[in-house]
Structure 1
Amino acid sequence: MTPDTVVDLFREAMLLVILIVCLMVVPSLLVGLAISIFQAATQINEQTLSFLPRLLTTIFMLILFGPFILSEIIDFTTKLVTSLPLLIG
């Protein structure tokens, strides 16, 4: 296994992780930001106010993008396992 193949595998794995994080965390961060702006504008300092909308957003994104994320992980794993004999030998 050459260093180039290791770097390519690592790059592809990191891109997959970035894709998953962007699909799951970024919408939750945006909802948290909107709630924080609302709290600052109305001077409501309730810590639990932003928890439920962020949780619901994360669950909704998981329901919405879950099949896509799972298929991407399965594709990457399948490609990695099928190319394993070529990488070792």
Structure 2
Amino acid sequence: MDTNAVMDIALQGLIIAAKLAAPILITALVVGFAISLLQSITQIQEVTLSFVPKAIAVAVALIVSGHWMISELVSFTQAMFDKIPSLLGGG
């Protein structure tokens, strides 16, 4: 296994991690920003007001994008298992 193969696998791993984390992180960012904007307008500084809607939105995002996330991860894992013979020099 050469350096280029290791770098390719590492790059693919980072890309799939970013793709899988993006829907959850973007949802939490948008909801968190909206709630903080609402809190600054109304001057209500309740901790649960920022946590509960964000947790609910992340759960909804997981439900909506969960099937896509699992299928992406399964295809990446299958591609990695398919690469094992070529990485070991077997062809």
TM more than 0.5: yes
Which ranges of structure 1 fall in alignment gaps of 5 or more residues? none
Distance 1:33 1:54 in 2: 10
1:35-55 deviation line (CA, Å, top 9, x unaligned): 001101110010110111111
Distance 1:25 1:57 in 2: 11
- 1:28-67 correspondence runs (5 A): 28-67=28-67
> Post-superposition shift, 1:31?
0.3
Q: TM-score, normalised by structure 2?
A: 0.94
Runs of 4 or more, structure 1, over 2 Å off, are none
In percent, how many aligned pairs have the same letter? Answer: 33
> Post-superposition shift, 1:20?
1.1
Distance 1:45 1:63 in 2: 29
- 1:1-89 correspondence runs (5 A): 1-89=1-89
Which ranges of structure 2 fall in alignment gaps of 5 or more residues? none
RMSD of aligned alpha carbons: 0.7
Distance 1:47 1:40 in 2: 13
Q: TM-score, normalised by structure 1?
A: 0.96
> Post-superposition shift, 1:88?
1.4
